[in-house]
Amino acid sequence: MGQALSAPVTTKHTSTWSNDSYIVAASCMQGWRVHMEDAHTCLLELPGDPKAAYFSVFDGHGGTRVAQHAGMYLHEKIVAQPEYVKNDIKEAVRRAFLLLDAEMQAEMTSYTVSQQVPAEKDSIVSPRSSSTTNTSQASRSLPPKADAASSRDDRAATTSTRFTNPGDELAGSTGIIVLLRDQMLYCGNAGDSRAVCSRRGVAEPLSTDHKPTLRREKERILAAGGWVDANRVNGNLALSRAFGDFVFKRNPRQNAENQIVSANPDVYARRLSAEEDEFLVLCCDGIWDVMTNQEVVSFIRLRLSYGVTPEKPLWSLQNSCSISFRSRSCCQMFGQRCLQRNECTGIFTEPTGDDCL
């Protein structure tokens, strides 16, 4: 579970953005953690494709680097994939997840083995900022079945070393992204952060939590040489897919998709409806462990009906998860454990015109 503070940090860092198509708010709260390990990215116009909007949440664990790195670069990887130009967005998202993870693992491996890759100054994305800082970085494509091991050698000389602390092998992050483009919604997910859409007030899940107890996840874990104990991967990790967590990605007989823990995302796509789709919510499990999909949608929808600005429902949502849930005696320990384990980061997106759908 990691180190915890004696009292939670309840200060909320909130940002809002808007254009002719969307109103967006994002808020994060550190909670009981010693450091804020979440990151998020909100781009109303995706660099390289101004017709697309992109939103993501990364729930880090074991350190900040993986979540920050994914927040800075994942959207760039998506747009850079050849499949993106061919309008195969689902495959572009899948390849980008695996490519980004492979490059991070290559940096870690090249440093550990040879320590010959020159270090460059860290590039950090603020958990409360949607901006990115461009740095020199390789942006090659992997084969359709991306394999971290096969990409290691040819990237070692060109990839900047950010993961030079041995502890980075234990750092990881979930990744949940939503990309809106040409009246289509694409959602990519690795881990247990979650995206939900309000369709006329009914919560529609856009992703499935990757837990090691799920049959397909457990089968992959066992086939790669791992095990599931106390609902955790090797008795340690509570999610079965993630960026980073390279200590679980060492089986040379398995490709990247079939390691004990994989960054291979589920990618969901559907057409948007101007008549039905009201808003999107992306949050880490600091919210979803406490409230159901429908509770979150109803919570936000009610407050929007009062005409409040979009960031205020997020503040109230975080307060509700950190305060009112504790009053339920049957779940008090679960609520405490959830808060000690996670920060809370959420993104709210509301369309402002039919042209965006």
Q: Where are the alpha helices (DSSP H) in 183-341?
A: 215-223, 285-288, 293-305, 311-322, 332-341
| Spatial distance between the Cα atoms of 259 and 101, rounded to a whole number of angstroms | 12
CATH of the domain at 310: 3.60.40.10
Name the residue range of residue 158's domain.
Answer: 4-356
Interhelix angle 293-305/311-322, nearest 10 degrees: 130
Tens of pLDDT, residues 86-143: 999 999 999 999 999 999 999 876 655 445 444 433 333 333 333 333 322 223 333 3
| Spatial distance between the Cα atoms of 212 and 53, rounded to a whole number of angstroms | 31
pTM: 0.77
Tens of pLDDT, residues 141-167: 333 344 433 333 333 333 343 655 655
Total structural domains in the chain? 1
Tens of pLDDT, residues 277-308: 999 999 888 888 889 999 999 988 998 888 87
pLDDT band at 191 (very low <50, low <70, confident <90, very high): very high
